[in-house]
Chain A
Amino acid sequence: MTATGLDKTALSRPERRGFNRDRFENRLFRVLKPIVIVLLMIVALFPFYYMALLSFRSLDSLLQNPGALWISLDEFNLSTYVDVLTPVSEGGQGFIIFMRNSLLVALSTVLLTLLVTIPGAYAVSRLQFFGRRQVSGLFLAVYFFPAILLAVPLFVFFTQVGLRGSLVALIIVYVSQVAAVSIYTLRNYFATVPVSLEEAAAIDGCGRLQTMWKISLPLAMPAVVSNGLFIFMIAWNEFLFALLFLVEKRDSWTVSLGLSQLSGSIEVPTTVLMAGSVIITLPIIVLFFASERLLVGGLTAGAEKG
Chain B
Amino acid sequence: MTQLSGGADLSGRPPIIPNDGPDLRAGAAPGARRGRSRRNREERRAGLLLIAPTLAIILIAVVVPIVWAIALAFQKVRLINIRETGLFGSYTFENFIEVLTSPGFLQALWTTIVYSVFGTGLAIGIGLIAALALRKPFRGRGIIRASLLLPYVAPVVAATFVWSTLLNPQYGLVNWFGQTVLGWSEPVAFLSQRWLPVSLFGLEIQVPIALVTVICFEAWRSFPFAFLFLTARLQAVPESLDEAARIDGATPSQRFAHILWPQLVPTIAVLTVLRFIWTFNNFDDIYLLTGGGAGTQVVAVRVFDYMTARGDIGAAAAQALVLAAILAILVTVYLRLFGRQEEQA
Find out whether the CB atom of A40 lies under 8 angstroms from the CB atom of B58.
no
Chain A 209-230 interface mask (CB, 8 Å, partner B; 1/0):
0000000000000000000000
A192 interface residue, CB < 8 Å from B?
no
Q: A50-B166, A160-B82, A277-B162 are in contact. Are A120 and B53 (CB under 8 A)?
A: yes
Interchain residue pairs A-B with the least CB separation, the first 5:
A129-B47, A176-B61, A127-B47, A123-B50, A120-B54
Q: A37-B134, A128-B12, A133-B1 are in contact. Are A145 and B248 (CB under 8 A)?
A: no
B33 interface residue, CB < 8 Å from A?
no
Find out whether the CB atom of B54 lies under 8 angstroms from the CB atom of A116.
yes
B129-174 residues with Cβ-Cβ distance < 8 A to A are: 129-130, 133-134, 144, 146-151, 153-159, 161-166, 170-173
Counting chain A CB atoms within 10 Å of each CB, which of B144, B155, B171, B245 scores highest?
A: B155
B55 interface residue, CB < 8 Å from A?
yes
A44 interface residue, CB < 8 Å from B?
yes
Considering the chains assembled together, what is the distance between the CA atoms of A202 and B340 in angstroms?
46
Interface size class of A (residues with CB under 8 A): 35 or more
Report the minimum CB–CB distance from B251 to chain A (whole Å). Answer: 4
Find out whether the CB atom of A148 lies under 8 angstroms from the CB atom of B82.
no
Find out whether the CB atom of B62 lies under 8 angstroms from the CB atom of A148.
no
Residue numbers in B under 8 Å from A47 (CB-CB): 151, 159, 162-163, 166
The number of chain B residues with a CB under 8 A from chain A is 109
Considering the chains assembled together, what is the distance between the CA atoms of A10 and B143 in angstroms?
37
Find out whether the CB atom of B162 lies under 8 angstroms from the CB atom of A50.
yes
A54 interface residue, CB < 8 Å from B?
yes
B46 interface residue, CB < 8 Å from A?
yes
Considering the chains assembled together, what is the distance between the CA atoms of A140 and B54 in angstroms?
13
B residues lining the A interface (CB < 8 Å): 1, 4-5, 8-9, 12-13, 40, 43-51, 53-55, 57-58, 60-66, 68-69, 72, 77, 79, 82-83, 85, 126, 129-130, 133-134, 144, 146-151, 153-159, 161-166, 170-173, 176-177, 180, 220, 224-225, 228-229, 232, 244-245, 248-254, 258-259, 262, 270, 274, 277, 280-281, 283-284, 288, 299-300, 303-304, 307-308, 313, 316-317, 320-321, 323-324, 327
Considering the chains assembled together, what is the distance between the CA atoms of A144 and B154 in angstroms?
21
Considering the chains assembled together, what is the distance between the CA atoms of A5 and B257 in angstroms?
10
Considering the chains assembled together, what is the distance between the CA atoms of A236 and B155 in angstroms?
8
Report the minimum CB–CB distance from B176 to chain A (whole Å). Answer: 4
Find out whether the CB atom of A288 lies under 8 angstroms from the CB atom of B57.
no
Q: A3-B258, A6-B258, A142-B62 are in contact. Are A127 and B50 (CB under 8 A)?
A: yes
A195 interface residue, CB < 8 Å from B?
yes
A233-251 residues with Cβ-Cβ distance < 8 A to B are: 233, 236-237, 239-240, 244
A71 interface residue, CB < 8 Å from B?
no
A38-65 residues with Cβ-Cβ distance < 8 A to B are: 40-41, 43-45, 47-48, 50-51, 54, 62-63
Residue numbers in A under 8 Å from B308 (CB-CB): 155, 244
Find out whether the CB atom of B324 lies under 8 angstroms from the CB atom of A288.
no
Among A79-87, A88-96, A279-287, which stretch is in contact with chain B? A279-287
Residue numbers in B under 8 Å from A195 (CB-CB): 13
A101 interface residue, CB < 8 Å from B?
no
Find out whether the CB atom of B61 lies under 8 angstroms from the CB atom of A172.
yes
Find out whether the CB atom of B324 lies under 8 angstroms from the CB atom of A146.
yes
Find out whether the CB atom of A2 lies under 8 angstroms from the CB atom of B150.
no
Find out whether the CB atom of B228 lies under 8 angstroms from the CB atom of A134.
no
Residue numbers in B under 8 Å from A289 (CB-CB): 146
Considering the chains assembled together, what is the distance between the CA atoms of A1 and B58 in angstroms?
45
Counting chain B CB atoms within 10 Å of each CB, which of A21, A128, A288 scores highest?
A: A128
Find out whether the CB atom of A132 lies under 8 angstroms from the CB atom of B5.
yes
Residue in contact with A152 in the complex, picked from B48, B54, B57, B320, CB distance below 8 Å: B320
Residue in contact with A66 in the complex, picked from B161, B172, B316, CB distance below 8 Å: B172
Find out whether the CB atom of A45 lies under 8 angstroms from the CB atom of B320.
no
Find out whether the CB atom of A150 lies under 8 angstroms from the CB atom of B69.
yes
Find out whether the CB atom of A7 lies under 8 angstroms from the CB atom of B51.
no
